Structure 1
Amino acid sequence: MTTGPTLAVVAREAGVSVPTASKVVNGREDVAPETRRRVTEALNRLGYARRPRFDQTKPPRLVDLVVPFDESTAHRRTRELLDLPDPPTAVFVCSDRMALGVYRAVLERGLRIPYDISVVGFDDLPESRWAAPALTTVRQPLAEMAATALRLLVRMMDGECPEGTRTELSTRLVERASTAPPPARAR
């Protein structure tokens, strides 16, 4: 159970995104001084404390792959990632269906989710809770997305040009059983 404010609460209080607040917490230098000040003040005001499970002696390495949006490609590319000399400890894919391809590749290698590798999907499809182990995923406000798209379409049909229109909708991380702190690795 979380006892203090989350990074999302700190970010909202400071008027910044969660990744920006995370950069400040992690000591990254690519944050404007004024933004850093606002985040630091929010951290102090709210009594934010880092959670030990997120502390690592070695910073994570990010591998960014752009792949076709399907389960079989996710399966193939995950196998390639697992063949690297220093394979990833976590994979985040842009759909729950792609996560199923990741699961298959991980299990074929005899690895265990989340003990050897964490997996996170995106969409929170109903079947993601029945995967073994249940998939951690990002829930999108699908009905709100559809309504917003429809409103923009109607405006365009009425001759309004909503160029530059920006709409932010809230997503939510649904933590299930497919994520854990990275495993210790022998060096």
Structure 2
Amino acid sequence: MKMEDIARLAGVSKAAVSLAFSGKPGIGDETRARILSVAGKAGYKPRKSVQAQEAATIADAAVEEASPALLFLVIANAGIVTSQYDRQPFFRELIHFLEQGSRAGGFSLLISAIDMARFDEDLRAIADMHSDRGVILLGTNLNKETLSRIAERLHKLIVLDTCFETLPIPFVYTNNVLGGYQAGTWLCRSGHRSIGYAASDVRIPNFDARRRGFDDAMREWSIAVSSEHEFSVDPMAPAAQAVFRDRIEKMQSAGKPLPTAIFCESDFIAIGVIKSLAELGVRVPEDVSVVGFDDIAEAVIVSPELTTVRVDKEKMVRSAVRLATSLDDSPSEGGMNISVATALIERRSSAAPPSV
């Protein structure tokens, strides 16, 4: 195993690994301990020098100090989860609560990332190092086949933020259908009848579930979403998006009415919609109300503050940690699924339509 492999498994850069082994400043104590722990578990041997020998000794000590520990595993560069996942607001908040929950339970938290381009090789290495450890896997971007392959290797596995009911694996996930339904129902009760939908152009099961819930609400209120008011946007760009902006501008130029409200499949999408509308002089919420999903920290920073569906990330994580720290030898046989409810959080980006 090379230094590049240690960096990938620890979810850090090669430079950070070098700093950890040399004992030089430039990285935090938790990051250094994680790198050394991964290296020690992997049996990594630095080049034979005084510094390297000292680093190897530290790594061995770090392994013992880190036990007992949970592993948080991410499959990067697949779907909406990039190699910089720890900088993405939703996943950054999950990691924060995971660190808190693990510490409260008397466990340390190890974080590793598998690059999808090296999936089989990295998974083998992870399984060799952590076969007896509880593993919480970020499942947001993963399909059924990939989850099955991982579960074959990691027998103490909890999957976070997705659910496939036909897999005998423990899942802890958000009730996305409920959240989409809550958003749609709230808009209808507020008086909106011309409602738009801003969808991610990268599809994951969570987004599909949100759409199902939203469509259920529309059917109950006998409202049809016009094809002109259906938008497909980049879910990773919380900025004005040309494709969305051009569609709105064409409707304005043709004298066609805009939807009085737009439901967005995520807060990042909603923030981009608000910025795009502002560039065209469309006021939020006076002209168009905007509702998001996730309730990330940025939802209260954007102007106006975002009405959104709250995902209880802390409760999800607490449930996952509780399961992961009480696993028997074969938890994947007859797994337990925990669904966490959502709540509509009303802020200033939404109001009754102008005609009401």
Q: Same fold (TM over 0.5)?
A: yes
Correspondent of 1:54 among 184, 187, 191? 191
Distance 2:264 2:320 in 1: 24
Correspondent of 1:76 among 242, 258, 261? 242
- Do the aligned residues in 1 keep the contact of 2:233 with 2:244 (CA within 8 Å)? no
The 5 Å alignment of 1:14-25 reads 19=181
**1:64-98 CA-partner distances (Å, limit 9, x unpaired):** 55544212687234324423445332222233222
Letter in 2 for 1:138: V
Q: How many residues align?
A: 140
Matched, 1:138 2:309: yes
- Do the aligned residues in 2 keep the contact of 1:145 with 1:169 (CA within 8 Å)? yes
Distance 2:322 2:243 in 1: 38
- Do the aligned residues in 2 keep the contact of 1:113 with 1:133 (CA within 8 Å)? yes
Distance 2:230 2:334 in 1: 29
Instruction: Specify whether residues 160 and 54 from structure 1 end up closer, same or farther in structure 2 by C-alpha distance, changes over 3 A only.
Output: same
Structure with the largest fraction of strand: 2
- Do the aligned residues in 2 keep the contact of 1:81 with 1:87 (CA within 8 Å)? no
Letter in 1 for 2:337: R
> What's the counterpart of residue 130 of structure 2?
none
The alignment partner of 2:337 has SS state of coil
**Larger CA deviation: 87-96 vs 134-143:** 87-96
Query: Where does structure 2 lack aligned partners over 5 or more consecutive residues?
Result: 1-177, 195-221
> What's the counterpart of residue 160 of structure 1?
331
Matched, 1:113 2:284: yes
Distance 2:245 2:234 in 1: 15
Letter in 2 for 1:114: P
Correspondent of 2:296 among 117, 122, 125? 125
Distance 2:323 2:230 in 1: 31
**Which of 1 and 2 has greater Rg?**
2
Offset at 1:101?
1.0
> What's the counterpart of residue 30 of structure 1?
none
The alignment partner of 2:309 has SS state of strand
Instruction: Specify whether residues 146 and 108 from structure 1 end up closer, same or farther in structure 2 by C-alpha distance, changes over 3 A only.
Output: same
- Do the aligned residues in 2 keep the contact of 1:124 with 1:138 (CA within 8 Å)? yes
Matched, 1:183 2:320: no
**Larger CA deviation: 93-102 vs 159-168:** 159-168
Letter in 2 for 1:141: D
TM-score by length of 1: 0.56
- Do the aligned residues in 2 keep the contact of 1:74 with 1:99 (CA within 8 Å)? no
Distance 1:72 1:130 in 2: 12
**1:96-137 CA-partner distances (Å, limit 9, x unpaired):** 222221111101111000111111122222332232211111
Distance 1:60 1:124 in 2: 26
Matched, 1:147 2:318: yes
- Do the aligned residues in 1 keep the contact of 2:291 with 2:349 (CA within 8 Å)? yes
Instruction: Specify whether residues 89 and 54 from structure 1 end up closer, same or farther in structure 2 by C-alpha distance, changes over 3 A only.
Output: closer
> What's the counterpart of residue 174 of structure 1?
345
Distance 1:162 1:73 in 2: 44
Matched, 1:91 2:255: no
Letter in 1 for 2:348: A
Distance 2:240 2:293 in 1: 13
The alignment partner of 1:71 has SS state of coil
**1:4-24 CA-partner distances (Å, limit 9, x unpaired):** xxxxxxxxxxxxx6949x99x
TM-score by length of 2: 0.32
The alignment partner of 2:241 has SS state of helix
- Do the aligned residues in 1 keep the contact of 2:192 with 2:353 (CA within 8 Å)? no
Cα RMSD of the aligned pairs, angstroms, is 3.7
Instruction: Specify whether residues 55 and 135 from structure 1 end up closer, same or farther in structure 2 by C-alpha distance, changes over 3 A only.
Output: closer
The percent identity for this pair of structures is 33
